[in-house]
Amino acid sequence: MSRLIDLTGRRFGYWVVFARAERYTNPCGSLQYPWWCRCVCGVEKTVDGGHLRSGASRSCGCLHREMMTTHGMSKTRIYRVWAAMKQRCLNPNNKGYDNYGGRGLGVHPDWHPFVGYYADVGDRPRDDLSLDRVDNNAGYGPTNYRWATRIEQARNRRPRKRKAQRAKLEDIQAFAAALTRAVSVST
Ligand SMILES: [Zn+2]
């Protein structure tokens, strides 16, 4: 028997592997090594390791259903946050794209469907918090998010290039002229 790679704790799409299941022989006579997996929606099932690794099985079926249908979340704030994130990272026609997708900031495949995103971030824990990335130079995904206040987020921003503040000559002249008028009126 070849060495069995331990998949415990690994994530494949919506599946998280949590235990080894009993091996069995399939109708074609070959040995199968299934794993107990939990889908982000809560469903637990055994899935063959080969199907996990090849990507043939990526969820209990809810992922496919989600792609095909809309769900009750589509009117919520968190859904809009998710949709806007995808737009600025994945849609070159979006006005925010230059600062996100255009800088190489992507969205982890698990977060492409809303259910995967929501399974990780959940509902906003407090009204003054919003989602932020931990590493501002990395994209959006399960290992790079936090709920943060506006102040915490501002500290995390990459420094913006300041616009040159030098005054134009005509502005100075206009200011001087106004000053001269003000002085002549008051004396
Ligand atoms: Zn599921």
Distance from Cα 42 to the centre of ligand 1, integer Å: 6
Residue 49's contacts (CB-CB under 8 Å, 6 or more residues apart) are 4, 5, 7, 33, 34, 35
Q: Where along the chain do its domains lie?
A: 11-66, 72-156
Give the pLDDT score at 141.
94
pLDDT in tens, 103-161: 999 999 888 888 888 888 888 888 899 999 999 899 999 999 999 998 888 887 765 55
Distance from Cα 14 to the centre of ligand 1, integer Å: 7
Q: What 3-state DSSP class applies to 25? A: strand
**pTM of this prediction?**
0.53
Distance from Cα 40 to the centre of ligand 1, integer Å: 6
pLDDT for residue 167 is more than 80 = no
CA distance 45 to 99: 41
Distance from Cα 107 to the centre of ligand 1, integer Å: 20
Distance from Cα 149 to the centre of ligand 1, integer Å: 32
Give the pLDDT score at 179.
66
